[in-house]
Structure 1
């Protein structure tokens, strides 16, 4: 329909409408006159519709009140009073995205769905949650999601417990998290950014129930809200729904919730914070140093985009001069940058990792001297062209594979609107990019450096410094504090706390009434597509290789991926496959230095990536295909360039530069260490699978803790091992890059494929020869190692599992319904709700591997006990038709996630390699749709058998692990 400016639609006055050709959309800004709410709609043909409601939430302390509110408002509301409507939606809707997030200055509640009816249901539940939450009726909600004193009898020690409290214990175990929070708070000390909106574990227990409710009353009002609608929908109907059901109930308030700018510093500030390491770790080379500069107002659209490009030029490519200078200075082992454009004032951070405090002056000297040299002599023209081309490709492709495109656009809208700016400025990138390109080679970026960094006193040197015994000291101080608090309490007060814990536990253990559950809207099985989405992939047999071709609408982009069989690599050299994947594109080739190569890649392509992976063979139990993957994409006009660069890299890379190899290995080790600290669940579950699965052992060897130990040994003994490493890299490279068992996977427009096929045939026949070796059948020794991996973390990641096919159980799509039931019922209620962990996940793989893993878990043995009793829950599982429908819908939604072109290509290759056809997937889908209560109960023996094998792996803190040392065969300190 046609909208008119200044006309009112269901209480919403249309203030602005514009066509944004950059994203093929019509954008509108509405204002709800009665309530004061702002609403943005982005209308286009995307059927993956997005709704979000966001609030400007400005902390004035670090109790994490807004983070706790984010969790808590989703724990029941006026229309939907069940304890956790959010969970009911996760396990029972066709959502393609469902979440909530707390930022330093806003809180977002986004949902997405391709089903119109489901989309309306999700919108209804979220609007009721934020405006009418049950937090006013049940103080137990804040206790569960935020914090409370845990005590169940008068002789127990007092403890802190709560989901957000434990989540932030995990966050504060990460030095990177402390770094980013410290930068923000010290750059903007007189603003809301000085406080941690997520919550500091030391401050969270200062939040009272009264304060908690007061913050909701002030900030969760429509006058402080930003509503967002995206996609192919009837906008007028949705405006009417929002007005009649919610906004018409509120009157506009003058809340005066504004963010103040930080007054500029007169000179650079210097601050530091300590982070804990274990007593067994060395403090050497464990410090983070950062130089940070406040750049400008986020509403300055040119500066916003220009500094995004400048940060890439300085720090994000192999040709980046500042990154290279810092690495060459030998003061650190890893360098990265952050351009923070998610707050009122943007900032640039230059960060080095694995350094030492006494290097801070040299750090400053290298940074400022390098920047002065760039200002004097200019950037390399190829680097400028490469970075601009790469950013332009990224913006035009709009491939946001981790979440819906509409949500990415929502964040861009709020990135200006929240601060009083033009809501659509960050969606219109072409005009500004063209303006920057026109001036790029005339000292444009050099002047940005001079004005915003070299002549900028609003800056900060911030350090995160390791300290032994810090974790133990803080734990001791907390025990003493809690002991003192308990000693100060009267017997009546202690009894009251015990009673409050009893009431909380009773609430957590009590099922919702059928009446409350039925208030949550639910689709029927008839609303589900019976047939899966399929893609027409043609398999072409060439002389020495196969081509998979999927016809796609790509806007002129070609996706070309190579899957090389790595079973030609000797077993003892398997870890070198991952080393090779990280080196390629970062070392010299015969025709390019690594800096020149980086520029060639970015000038001509949308990126070239290298990785190692393994795919289970669904046709033969226990078999898998190990692959080395080269992924590339470019405009069709540059596909020849893409292929020339790919083969330059894989056939002509040189590994004889010892200094460069060491730099890259140091960086790789640094990046894996970040993953270990922040994603311990992945490390624990990967190590666990290596106890009972050949494929699990292989994956852990190339991507898990086993690979990390291999890399650590090389990094530590590089001088004595470098020649051996180079020899092995060359041998592994020669073994992999042949035409034997090669699969080329293409996604492109139909009219472009013939040309691509011809180019490929020519280049492959010229560059690749069949292997002279026979493929290796790897044979690993599998044994129950039951390791505890010790870090300085304050939380645990607890994994337990086995391979059910070894007991004769067959994979079925019905196991995915059990997964939904488990993740959002038994495991959720016992590990997260009652246990206080931030998350818990169960997985059933088609190859028979199953695992359960907790995330940021304050417990260890208690969680394993929950896992062990799981089969009893399944054995007596009961659910009515409505509940089973809900579980089935939730399972289907996880299968029907919208895919980007790149994801479609990945999917089609994985299915082909794994011998999975559309018939198998359709049968799996039908099994899901037909799952019954009896089917779920039938899986109890499968779970019981797997848990009886007692295979566990835990990554976590020393204290908890030592308290449960009898569970482990070995206890390993992760970091030296």
Structure 2
């Protein structure tokens, strides 16, 4: 339909309408006349519809109030009084995205769905949650989601417990998280950005129920809201619904949530902060140095995009001159950049990791000298072209993987809208990009460096230093504080704490009233497509090599994945495959210096990445297909250049640049350290799986703790091992990049396949064609049951085994069980009553199962929860409505929308694993026809798996030491 500016539609006055050609959409900006709510509608033909409501929520302390409130409003509301509607939606909607997010100055509640009815249902639950939450009548919600005193009897010690409390203890266990959380504090001492909106564990217990509800009452009003609608939905229906069900009940008010600007510094400041390392870790080379600059305002679209590109140019590409200078100065072992434009005053940070405190002055000097030299001599124009090109490619491709496009656009819109500017400021990027491209013939970027970096006094140096035993020190302080608190309590007050603890447990354990659950809207199974989507795959051959063609619309982009079989690699060299995947493209070839190579990749392609993969035969974890995959994309017209560059990488890479090799190995080690602390649940589950599974063992050697130990050994003895490293990499190139090993997957429009055919021929010359022996790997198995010790404040507890080894077959019913176990049993036992941030289960076609927890305060209690899961399953009973919910929630994960490149990758994975369309349809049929008795029948499988007793825990060294009797081995992760 046609809209007219200054006309009202269902209570919303249209203020502006404009075409946004960059995203092929029409943008409409509305204001709700009665309540003052703002609304942005992005209309296009995308069926993956997105809704979000965002509130401006600047914190006034570090109690984590905005974050805790984000959790809490989704714990029941006026229309949907069940205790956890969010989980009920996760169990039983067709959502393609369902979450809530706390930023430094805003709280966002986004959902997405491709089903019109489901989309409206999700919108209804979220709007009711934010405007009418149960937090006013249920103090247990703050206790559960935020924090509470835990005391079961008068003799015990009081402890703190709460989901966000433990989540943030986990966040503050990572030195990188500590660093990033303190950058804003170092630059904005007089504004809201001095506080941690997520919550500092030391401050969280200061939050009161009164402050909690007052914050909601003040800021969760429509006049302080930003509503967003995206996609091909019926806008008139949605406006009518939002108005009649919600906004017409509110009167417009003035909400004081303004975010003020920090007065610029007259001179740079230096801040120091400590993070904890384990008792046996060395302190040398463990300091982080960060130089941070405040860069204008996020409401300047040209500056915003220009600094995105400049940060990449200076610090991220292999040709990055500032990164290169810092590494050559031997200031640390890893260098990376950050440009945070999610706040009113964006911040560029230059970070050196694994340095030392005494290097801070030299660090600043190298940064300033390098930036000054770039201004004086000029930045290499090819580097500028490469950096602009890769950003432009990504902007136009608009491929955000598992994140809906509409959600990314929503987040971009908030970077101007929240600060009272045009919400499509950053979506209409053509004008800004055009001005930035003048950098190809002018000193555009040099002027930015001079103005915003060299001549900018509003900057800080943040020094983050290691301290042994800091976690234990803080824990002792908390313990003493709580002991002192308890000592001052009267007998009646102690009894009241015990009663409060008991009250919370009763609240948590009491099942939802079935009538309350029925109020949460639910689709029927008739709304589900019974037929599984068929991913396109046509087998072809070119020059005798197998090609998998996935013909579909790709907007003139070709996605080419080259999968090389790596079973020609001897067992002792398996970790080198992973190292090789990180090195390729970052060292020189016979034709290109590595800096020039990086520029060529960024100018002519959408990226060339290397990745180690292993695909299991569909029903056998012992038969698997390890691959080194080259993932690449380029405009169809650039395919000849793409294959030329790939040919250089696989046929002419040189490993004789000693210093460069060392830098890369140090960077690999640094990034692995980050992953271990941030993704501990995955690390622990992978390690546990390696105890019994051949494919699990292989993946552990390429990506897990075993791989980290391998890299640590290379880095620590680099000089002695240099020749060995170079020799092994040379061997691998010949073993892997061979025609006999290659499978090609190409996603492209069918009309363009002939262009791929022609260009692909040139690649053949770069590969060997001799027949190579395939290896049969033999690994050692057994329940090693390790405790992996770190300085973390929390645990990641994993238990795993393979059900096919116990005689059970895979069935689609297991995927429904995964939904039930993850979002019901584990959610209630490990998260709600246990206080962990999360817990989940995984069930694979090859028989591997794992349970794992995330940022968990417990250890043995969680293992006990896993062991007792079979009892819950054996007693599982539910009505038809609830069973429908679990089935729909399972299907929503199976039917997650895929981009063209993702469809090509998934079809290829099915092909390699020998999963047929019949297998996929059979699984879907089994999911759709799952009955309660099918779930109950899986109890014995879970019991038998858990009784094999294969587990691994990564986490706090003190907690693991206190439970050392349950472990066979204790391993210090970091040295």
TM-score by length of 2: 0.99
2: CA distance between counterparts of 1:25 and 1:208?
Answer: 45
Tell me the distance in 2 between the aligned counterparts of 1:781 and 1:175.
Answer: 34
Conserved? CA contact 1:544–1:770, under 8 Å:
no
Is residue 2:826 matched to residue 1:842?
no
Q: CA deviation at 1:352?
A: 0.4
1:824 CA drift (Å): 0.7
Match of 1:590 in 2: 590
What is the rounded CA distance, in whole Å, between the counterparts of 1:438 and 1:216 in structure 2? 47
C-alpha separation in 2, matches of 1:535 and 1:954:
38
Residue 543 of structure 1 deviates from its aligned partner by: 4.9
Note if 1:388 corresponds to 2:388.
yes
The corresponding residue for 2:904 is 905
Query: Is this contact kept in 2: 1:72–1:145, CA < 8 A?
Result: yes
Counterpart contact for 2:536–2:907, Cα < 8 Å: no
2:56 equivalent in structure 1: 56
Aligned to 1:780: 779
After superposition, give the CA deviation of every residue in 1:894-928 in whole Å (9 maximum; x if it has no partner): 01111112211210111111001211101110110
2:619–2:846 CA contact under 8 A, matched in 1: no
Do structure 1's residue 801 and structure 2's residue 805 form an aligned pair?
A: no
Q: Which residue of 2 aligns with 1:218?
A: 218
Shift of 1:471: 1.2
Q: Is the 8 A contact 2:644 2:763 kept in 1?
A: no
Q: Which residue of 2 aligns with 1:40?
A: 40
What CA deviation, in whole Å up to 9, does each residue of 1:434-486 have, x standing for no partner? 12113443100000000111101001000110011211111111110000001
Equivalent residue of 1:669, what SS? helix
- The equivalent of 2:191 in structure 1 is 191
**1:620 to partner: Cα distance:** 4.8
1:523 corresponds in structure 2 to 523
Alignment-derived partner of residue 671 in structure 1? 671
User: 3-state DSSP class of the match of 2:739?
Assistant: coil
Task: Give the Å deviation of 1:541.
Answer: 3.1
1:683 CA displacement: 0.9
What corresponds to 2:752 in structure 1? 752
Q: How many residues align?
A: 975
User: 1:327 Cα shift?
Assistant: 0.5
Q: Which residue in 1 is equivalent to 2:626?
A: 626
Instruction: State the alpha-carbon separation in 2 of the partners of residues 313 and 584 from structure 1.
Output: 19
Over the residues paired in the alignment, what is the CA RMSD in angstroms? 0.8
1:641-680 correspondence runs (5 A): 641-680=641-680
**Residue number in structure 2 paired with 1:67:** 67
The runs of 5 or more residues in structure 1 that have no matched partner are none
d(CA) in 2 for partners of 1:369, 1:904: 47
In structure 2, the residue corresponding to 1:784 is in which secondary structure? coil
| CA drift at 1:764 | 3.8
> Quick one: distance in 2 between partners of 1:813 and 1:644?
44
Partners of 1:572 and 1:72 in 2: how far apart? Answer: 51
What is the CA-CA distance between 1:701 and the residue it aligns to? 0.3
Q: Which residue of 1 aligns with 2:418?
A: 418
Q: Say whether residues 1:552 and 2:571 are aligned partners.
A: no
Partners in 2 of 1:522 and 1:307 — Cα distance? Answer: 45
DSSP-derived class of the 2:423 partner: coil
User: What is the deviation of 1:369?
Assistant: 0.3
> What is aligned with 1:896?
895
SS in 1 for 2:441: helix
Structure 1 residue 621, shift from structure 2 partner: 5.6
Shift of 1:741: 3.5
CA distance in 1, matches of 2:631, 2:646: 9
Shift of 1:774: 1.6
Structure 2 residue 374 is the aligned partner of structure 1 residue 374: yes
**What secondary structure, in the 3-state scheme, does the structure 1 residue paired with 2:789 have?**
strand
Between 1:748-757 and 1:587-596, the stretch displaced more is: 748-757
> Residue 203 of structure 1 aligns with which residue?
203
Matched, 1:765 2:771: no
Q: Deviations over 1:15-51 (max 9, x none)?
A: 0100111000000100001101000000000000000
Deviations 1:364-395 (A, max 9, x none): 11000000000000000110000010000010
Q: Is the 8 A contact 1:739 1:764 kept in 2?
A: no
**How far apart, CA to CA, are the structure 2 residues paired with 1:336 and 1:570?**
34
Q: Distance in 1 between matches of 2:2 and 2:499?
A: 60
2:620 and 2:505 mapped to 1: Cα distance?
Answer: 47
1:653-679 alpha-carbon deviations (Å, 9 max, x no partner): 001111111000000100000001111
Distance in 1 (CA, whole Å) between partners of 2:634 and 2:646 is 12
Q: 1:178 to 1:527 in 2, by over 3 A?
A: same
Is the partner of 2:444 in helix, strand or coil? helix
Larger deviation: 746-755 or 383-392? Answer: 746-755
Deviations 1:262-316 (A, max 9, x none): 0000000000100011110000000000111111011111111111111111111
* Counterpart-to-counterpart distance in 1, 2:825 and 2:784: 28
CA distance in 1: counterparts of 2:721 and 2:178, whole angstroms: 35
CA drift at 1:92: 0.4
Q: In the alignment, which residue of structure 2 is the partner of 1:739?
A: 739
Say which SS state the counterpart of residue 622 (structure 1) adopts: strand
Q: Following superposition of structure 1 onto structure 2, how do residues 245-260 of structure 1 map, counting pairs within 5 Å? A: 245-260=245-260
* 1:608 paired residue number: 608
Q: Assess if the C-alpha contact under 8 Å between 2:301 and 2:429 holds in 1.
A: no
Do the aligned residues in 2 keep the contact of 1:619 with 1:915 (CA within 8 Å)? Answer: no
Q: Does 1:229 align with 2:229?
A: yes
Superimposed CA distance per residue, residues 311-339 of structure 1 (whole angstroms, 9 cap, x where no aligned partner): 11111111111010001000111001111
Question: Any conservation in 2 of the 1:544–1:742 contact (CA below 8 Å)?
Answer: no
Matches within 5 A, 1:298-309: 298-309=298-309
1:777, distance to aligned residue in structure 2 (A): 1.6
2-side partners of 1:619 and 1:822: how far apart? 22
| SS at structure 1 position matched to 2:709 | helix
Give the CA deviation at 1:619. 5.5
1:544 offset after TM fit, Å? 4.0
Three-state SS of the structure 2 residue aligned to 1:447 is: helix
**Could you give the per-residue CA deviations for residues 98-146 of structure 1, whole angstroms, max 9, x where no partner exists?**
0000000000000000000000000000000000000111100000000
Q: Distance in 1 between matches of 2:770 and 2:565?
A: 10
1:364 maps to which residue?
364
1:544 and 1:740 in contact (8 A); partners too: no
- The SS at the match of 2:319 is coil
Question: Match for residue 812 of structure 2?
Answer: 813
SS of residue matched to 2:442: helix
TM-score by length of 1: 0.99
Q: d(CA) in 2 for partners of 1:93 and 1:810?
A: 28
Q: Which residue is 1:164 aligned to?
A: 164
